[in-house]
Amino acid sequence: MTDDASSPAAETEPDPQVLADLFAVIEDRKAIRPEGSYTASLFDHEKGENAVLEKIGEEATEVVLAAKDDDLDELTYESADLVYHLLVLLSMNDLDLSALLAELESRR
């Protein structure tokens, strides 16, 4: 791996900040509730929490199936769905991303 900004790796390397940025967007959708936002709809709907819990169950199953099938693209895609819905669930329960990170840090 090189720090050369002109290398293809430097152009495509994901920013680890992406998780914090995504959580900030989720918190923003919770506060502002823009029309047409799927995330906002999860907070708006009176059964929103059930919808999120259902999604987490579905996505977790899809992650397991993708892993069993050795389908790495699908495993990556479904893991992203799962993490996104997990972050929505944390926000829905007024937990911060830092609570999750602190818990992980405490296990090191």
Ligand X SMILES: N=c1c2ncn([C@@H]3O[C@H](COP(=O)(O)OP(=O)(O)OP(=O)(O)O)[C@@H](O)[C@H]3O)c2ncn1[C@@H]1O[C@H](COP(=O)(O)O)[C@@H](O)[C@H]1O
Q: Which is nearer to ligand X, 3 or 15 (CB)?
A: 15
> In the block, which residue shows the tokens 């007024």?
94
In the DSSP assignment, the letter for residue 4 is -
Cα–Cα dist 56/39, whole Å: 14
Chosen residue from 9, 10, 20, 25 binding ligand X by CB under 6 A: 25
Out of 38, 93, 105, 107, which residue is the one contacting ligand X (CB under 6 A)? Answer: 38
Answer yes or no whether residue 81 interacts with ligand X by CB under 6 A: yes
- Burial, 106: exposed, middle or buried (Cβ in 10 Å; 0-12, 13-18, 19+)? exposed
- The reply to whether 91 sits near ligand X by the rule CB under 6 A is no
Q: Are 92 and 43 within 8 A, CB to CB?
A: yes
Site for ligand X in 61-80 (CB under 6 A): 62
In terms of CB distance, is 1 or 32 closer to ligand X?
A: 32
